[in-house]
């Protein structure tokens, strides 16, 4: 008989990784059994998804996660959508951690709907065995209707690439196991697939094709979620009634402050067999024009040009670099129409006041400082790829020398892509 953990009564004894989640306002302490911490969804990400889901009309029923891990995401869904959950997890220790984490969120947020806590369960078992789980739920007086299926399959760690067949459980096995039990709609069933940001455009198309095999003509919206630091933290496919009709891409940028709401952008084009590449112009930058570094996760989502067009700068910009951590554009005018909340999509923006045709080293840094002083600069930030051991030394040298003077302007230093030239820019 399958083991069932009831969140209300599950003990935390033996679960030793009680780790604070720094992204939660409440400073939740979560258990992550068997080295599950690197795989867990940060609370701020889990909460942002749940808040987006609240906009959509879900049918009656439970929220199911057939590979729930530490249970943080499914607990966020329950807390915001006010529904009981059923999580399934092969690993007994993680299943127990999931039940305890659910109770932690429930109680520390002051929730009073005790029935939802009583009706939620974490089951130790195979998340692809839909018929067996449904029968077990019915025997335990739990409504077996599924209003939302969330799946975050395990994938190889410390690997830059992996195939869909390496996911566990496999998508097709989960789809087959639960196909007959989902509360569906004319646009497909409500499914949220939480996938690796490392999958390729070709693999994303494979996922879409697999969904079409089970639920033809279903709505699909790909969602890229980033907490900054130049990377996509989560890539997910929203399906059915939780997808935006006719909208193929969503970008969500979560700010550093957990009290601030995320920035969200909808739009973009459907996936194509050949992913669109931005056109890069390797021209020489000019003094007096502006340079901006765009959020690299936004660029990865394929929505950077949509955002730039919304700023009403027309086509008067060129991409100097469209890959790596610092995608860069040159543009003739200052960016003045940035919508409130989307400022975080700019790493920096400023006017070029000088071009420095030499390498930045400990031997040349004093000459860079002299150029800063001639441009009335009081503080400068290095925004260029430098050796990790050298970067802090150079930044420290700028900080110490400029602090002794009486400049009035903030600036940043950026390297021209694929060249040795540095651009000194006054922050705008």
User: DSSP letters along 224-260, please?
Assistant: EEE-STTS--EEEEEEGGGSPTT--EEEEE--SSTTS
The rounded distance, in Å, linking the Cα atoms of 302 and 181 is 35
Per DSSP, 333 falls in state S
The per-residue pLDDT for 37 is: 54
- CATH code given to domain 290-427: 3.30.2130
> Reduced to 3 states, what is the DSSP secondary structure of residue 179?
helix
The per-residue pLDDT for 144 is: 76
Max intra-chain CA distance, the chain: 79
Q: What ranges make up the beta strands (E) of 66-189?
A: 85-89, 121-124, 146-151
**The tokens of 9 are what?**
């009564």
The rounded distance, in Å, linking the Cα atoms of 375 and 154 is 53
> Reduced to 3 states, what is the DSSP secondary structure of residue 328?
strand
- Where in the chain are the domains? 3-267, 290-427
The per-residue pLDDT for 61 is: 92
The rounded distance, in Å, linking the Cα atoms of 87 and 324 is 37
Neighbouring residues of 235: CB distance < 8 A, sequence distance ≥ 6: 194, 195, 196, 197, 199, 222, 223, 224, 225
Sign for the CA dihedral angle at 235, 237, 242, 243 comes to positive
Strand order in the sheet with 191-195: 3-5, 121-124, 85-89, 62-65, 146-151, 191-195, 234-239, 220-226, 249-253, 263-267
User: Nearest Cα to 363, choosing from 340, 397, 330?
Assistant: 397
Determine the topology of domain 3-267 in CATH.
Rossmann fold (3.40.50)
The per-residue pLDDT for 314 is: 64
Question: What are the pLDDT tens digits along the chain (428 aa)?
Answer: 679 999 999 988 878 777 889 899 888 999 887 655 556 899 999 999 999 999 999 989 999 999 999 999 999 999 999 999 999 999 999 999 999 999 999 888 887 778 898 899 999 999 999 999 999 888 877 767 899 999 999 887 655 677 888 889 999 999 999 999 998 888 999 999 999 998 999 999 999 999 999 999 999 999 999 998 888 999 999 999 999 999 999 999 999 888 888 999 999 889 999 888 899 999 999 999 999 999 999 999 999 999 998 887 766 899 999 999 999 999 998 888 888 888 999 999 999 999 999 999 999 999 999 999 999 999 999 999 999 999 999 999 999 999 988 899 999 999 998 899 999 999 98
């Amino acid at each position: 008989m399958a083991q069932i953990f009831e969140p209300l009564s599950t003990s935390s004894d033996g679960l030793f990784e009680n780790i604070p989640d720094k992204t939660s306002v409440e400073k939740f302490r979560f258990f992550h059994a068997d080295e599950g911490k690197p795989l867990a969804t940060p609370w701020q990400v889990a909460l942002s998804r749940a808040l987006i889901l609240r906009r959509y009309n879900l049918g009656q029923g439970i929220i199911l996660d057939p590979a729930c891990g530490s249970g943080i995401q499914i607990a966020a869904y329950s807390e915001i959508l006010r529904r009981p959950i059923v999580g399934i997890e092969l690993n007994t220790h993680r299943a127990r951690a999931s039940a305890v984490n659910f109770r932690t969120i429930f109680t520390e947020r002051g929730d009073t709907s005790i029935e939802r806590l009583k009706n939620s369960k974490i089951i130790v078992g195979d998340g692809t065995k839909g018929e067996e789980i449904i029968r077990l739920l019915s025997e335990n007086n739990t409504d077996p209707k599924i209003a939302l299926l969330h799946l975050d399959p395990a994938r190889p760690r410390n690997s830059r690439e992996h195939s869909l067949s390496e996911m566990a459980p496999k998508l097709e096995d989960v789809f087959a196991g639960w196909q007959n039990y989902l509360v569906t709609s004319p646009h497909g069933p409500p499914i949220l697939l939480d996938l690796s940001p490392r999958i390729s455009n070709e693999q994303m198309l494979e996922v879409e094709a697999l969904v079409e095999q089970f639920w033809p003509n279903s709505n699909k919206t790909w969602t890229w979620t980033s907490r900054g630091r130049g990377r996509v933290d989560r890539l997910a496919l929203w399906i059915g009634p939780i997808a935006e009709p006719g909208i193929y891409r969503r970008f969500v940028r979560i700010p550093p402050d957990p009290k601030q709401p995320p920035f969200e952008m909808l739009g973009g084009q459907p996936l194509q067999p050949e992913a669109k590449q931005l056109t890069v112009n390797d021209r020489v930058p000019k003094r007096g024009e502006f340079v901006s570094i765009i959020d690299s996760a936004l660029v990865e989502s394929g929505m950077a040009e949509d955002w730039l067009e919304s700023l009403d700068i027309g086509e008067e910009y060129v991409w100097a670099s469209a890959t790596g951590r610092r995608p860069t554009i040159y543009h003739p005018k200052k960016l003045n129409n940035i919508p409130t909340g989307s400022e975080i999509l700019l790493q920096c923006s400023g006017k070029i006041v000088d071009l420095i045709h030499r390498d930045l080293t400990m031997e040349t840094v004093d000459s860079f400082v002299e150029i800063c002083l001639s441009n009335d600069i009081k503080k400068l930030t290095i925004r260029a790829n430098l050796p990790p051991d050298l970067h802090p030394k150079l930044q420290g040298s700028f900080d110490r020398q400029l602090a002794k003077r009486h400049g009035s302007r903030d600036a940043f230093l950026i390297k021209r892509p694929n060249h040795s030239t540095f651009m000194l820019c006054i922050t705008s």
